[in-house]
Structure 1
């Protein structure tokens, strides 16, 4: 089996729906824990207008902090929605640029103010610009497995977006289950089809645990050959522009599952648990993850 890559999105997706603003110093402390835990990629935040997503107002400052203390083994990623966001990311030394479009017209308009086709034209142009500058890029299809507003999304609509990505020379592609509608058989079918479209594509999946199927969907994705997974400490998160904003699959839950199979023993699960506990204490509530609530999950 190829190495399973973990893209930790708790600092962005995990925090973006939270109304209580996490101070910059606290965010840096949580990031440092994740880096020390040896997570492969950490999504520090998104370069969006602070009025739209107030929690992301300190994204530039966090990147500046780590410019001087660049982690050796961890990639620091960001989410960008437009050219200005890319410029901000480049100014503070982001390693990887994530960008995407929604397969749902309703979600696309709520999230970006654009139709899917308008957003796709813009994202492909941005991705090409980033690749020309030798920057790492990952594009995504949001609401790929269903939409809280529209319900079922035709598979062909998703495949059409991916085909346009591939024709543009973009090989790192994520399918995001924004509304949490995915189920294992659907996951297997869609990822298997995409692998046939281009065997060299690097696939990532991003599952929300709205209906409790997140880990089952991850298992199905692994069986279909997916190697990259986006998860969040404590199972935090949710898109503020979808109908029901439910949390992500918990990073420490996923790592626990992997380590039971003697995979990714290089990741320090106890530091992931510490991060989830710190977040739970800060927000003064239990989070949706399971493993962090157990004192010694490895025993």
Structure 2
């Protein structure tokens, strides 16, 4: 009986397969696949449309930088008259290299100092137990609730009393003391690291600085990259700070945002200029390259840091 049942099982399976092949379910699956294909097409169309919307300003800026003075604002994405010599003449018209150098120096100092100082404070809040730790951490977070406009005047008075107004120091000096947002971000990342590693290192006699440098730092590189990129971008685009502390100095001491703003005023017909805005477009396009290059090299760590900075242990 068992042998007959085993022999009958393949015949039943073959019959079932034949019945399934002849069943009216197949047209339904075909319809579903067609709708899936339509969904894919719609998805790609929407993605391409959104990409075009985001890329349009860059394409327009590139086209405007290659046009003569009278055609800068004609909204053509393909210039009617090509003038690539704008990219050579801009360095004679504007101290662009000096602006780039100032911005790079300030952004590197600001991002480097805030990354180091914030990571040390965050490591202390994450792994040290001391009275009032939670209260102190709450006070640090509470400073993020203060609008930036509230602290502008006190900060200016402090830097003016120290004699640093008109220099680059106020644009990066405050970062030596860390940032509440970055402290919170890095603390959350440190809490996601296995605590057993630090306990074992402490038993082996490793100091607190050694635990940070030899364990926390290598495991937290993505979080440091994201903090560095965030602060570099914030410093690179900081027009308000440059207006407050550098506007009284020489144009060669300007940063990129302040330099481009002054160029807009210089070429404005209302200020006696001739409307040579093509040089402003060239400068605006050139100064976007450092951020693009920096993000291209740090993209993987940047995305990983965004994905893991909110986890807790």
**Larger helix share, 1 or 2:** 2
Shorter chain as denominator, the TM-score bin is under 0.3
How does the TM-score come out when normalised to structure 2? 0.23
Q: Relative contact order (alpha carbons < 8 A, sep ≥ 6): 1 or 2 greater?
A: 2
Q: Which has the larger radius of gyration?
A: 2
**Larger strand share, 1 or 2:** 1
